Amino acid sequence: MEVTNKKLSDDVFFAEREEVLQQWPTGKGVNFDEAVKYQQSIAHNRRFGNKLAQAVKDGVTLIQPRAGVALYTQHIKLLQYLENEGEADLLPSTVDSYTRLNRYHEAEVGIEKSKESGRSMLNGFPIVNYGVDICRAVTSALDNPVQVRHGTPDARLLTEISIAGGFTSYEGGGISYNIPYSKNHSLEKTIRYWQYTDRLVGMYEEAGVSINREPFGPLTGTLIPPCISNSVAIIEALLAATQGVKDITVGYGQCGNLIQDIAAVRSLKNMTEEYLHKYGFNDVRVTTVFHQWMGGFPQDESKAFGVISWGAAAAALSKATKVIVKTPHEAMGVPTMEANAAGLRATKQIISMLRDQDLREIPEVVKESEIINREVNCILDKIEELGKGDIAIGSIAAFEAGVLDIPFAPSRFNAGKVMPARDNYGAVRILEMGNLPLSQDLKDFHRMKLEERGKFEHRDVSFQMVIDDVYAIGKGFLVGRKN
Provide the annotated binding site for adenosylcob(III)alamin: 68, 123, 180, 297, 326, 330
Nearer to ligand 8ZB, 164 or 334 (CB): 334
> What's the angle, vertex CA 265, arms to CA 407 and CA 182, rounded to 5?
30
Nearer to ligand 8ZB, 66 or 446 (CB): 66
Would you give the distance in Å from CA 482 to the centre of its chain? 33
CB of 292 to ligand 8ZB, least distance (A): 9
Taking CB under 6 A as the criterion, the residue among 29, 68, 166, 394 binding ligand 8ZB is: 68
Say if strands 419-422 and 428-432 run parallel, antiparallel, or are unpaired: antiparallel
Asked if 343 is part of the footprint of ligand 8ZB (rule: CB under 6 A), the reply reads no
Nearer to ligand 8ZB, 124 or 298 (CB): 124
CB of 433 to ligand 8ZB, least distance (A): 27
Measured distance CA(232)–CA(216) in Å, rounded = 9
Instruction: Name the catalytic one among 83, 171, 273, 301.
Output: 171
Taking CB under 6 A as the criterion, the residue among 66, 156, 185, 429 binding ligand 8ZB is: 66
Measured distance CA(229)–CA(33) in Å, rounded = 36
Residues 120 and 114 sit within 8 Å (Cβ to Cβ): yes
Nearer to ligand 8ZB, 409 or 450 (CB): 409
Measured distance CA(431)–CA(425) in Å, rounded = 15
Annotated binding-site residue numbers: 66, 68, 100, 123, 149-150, 171, 177, 180-181, 297, 326, 330
Which residue in the shown chain puts its C-beta closest to ligand 8ZB? Answer: 66
CB of 335 to ligand 8ZB, least distance (A): 6
Residues 179 and 156 sit within 8 Å (Cβ to Cβ): no
Q: Residue 171 catalytic?
A: yes
Asked if 147 is part of the footprint of ligand 8ZB (rule: CB under 6 A), the reply reads no
Q: Which amino acid is at 19?
A: E
The per-residue DSSP string of 154-174 comes to: S-HHHHHHHHHTT--EEE--T
> SS3 for 271-296, per residue?
HHHHHHHHCCCCCCEEEEEEECCCCC
By rule CB under 6 A, what string of x and - marks binding of each residue 320-339 to ligand 8ZB?
Answer: ------x---x---xx----
Nearer to ligand 8ZB, 29 or 180 (CB): 180
Q: Which amino acid is at 77?
A: K
> What's the angle, vertex CA 153, arms to CA 108 and CA 328, rounded to 5?
75
Q: Which amino acid is at 171?
A: E
Asked if 224 is part of the footprint of ligand 8ZB (rule: CB under 6 A), the reply reads no
Asked if 150 is part of the footprint of ligand 8ZB (rule: CB under 6 A), the reply reads no
Nearer to ligand 8ZB, 67 or 393 (CB): 67
Taking CB under 6 A as the criterion, the residue among 20, 35, 67, 158 binding ligand 8ZB is: 67
Nearer to ligand 8ZB, 324 or 380 (CB): 324
Sheet holding 62-64, edge to edge: 62-64, 322-324, 285-291, 247-253, 212-214, 169-171, 146-149, 91-94
Instruction: Name the catalytic one among 46, 100, 136, 429.
Output: 100
Nearer to ligand 8ZB, 123 or 270 (CB): 123
Please name which of 48, 16, 320 lies closest in space to residue 166, comparing C-alpha atoms: 48
Asked if 304 is part of the footprint of ligand 8ZB (rule: CB under 6 A), the reply reads no
Return the axis-axis angle of helices 391-401 and 187-206, rounded to nearest 10°. 150
Exposure letters 58-79 (e unless 16+ CB within 10 A, then b):
eebbbbbbbbbbbbbebbbebb
Element containing residue 270 per DSSP (H, E): helix 258-278
- Tell me the sheet residues that pair with 422: 428
Element containing residue 133 per DSSP (H, E): helix 127-139
Taking CB under 6 A as the criterion, the residue among 49, 124, 225, 244 binding ligand 8ZB is: 124
Q: Which among 61-69, 137-145, 243-251, 386-394 is the span making contact with ligand 8ZB, rule CB under 6 A?
A: 61-69
Q: Which of residues 73-102 bind ligand 8ZB (CB under 6 A)?
A: 94
Asked if 156 is part of the footprint of ligand 8ZB (rule: CB under 6 A), the reply reads no
CB of 113 to ligand 8ZB, least distance (A): 16
Q: Which among 64-72, 196-204, 273-281, 303-311 is the span making contact with ligand 8ZB, rule CB under 6 A?
A: 64-72
Taking CB under 6 A as the criterion, the residue among 123, 270, 377, 435 binding ligand 8ZB is: 123
CB of 302 to ligand 8ZB, least distance (A): 18
Residues 54 and 137 sit within 8 Å (Cβ to Cβ): no
CB of 333 to ligand 8ZB, least distance (A): 7
Q: Residue 400 catalytic?
A: no
Q: Which amino acid is at 447?
A: R
CB of 454 to ligand 8ZB, least distance (A): 33
As annotated, the active-site residues are: 100, 171
Query: Which chain residues interact with ligand 8ZB by CB under 6 A?
Result: 66-68, 94, 123-124, 326, 330, 334-335
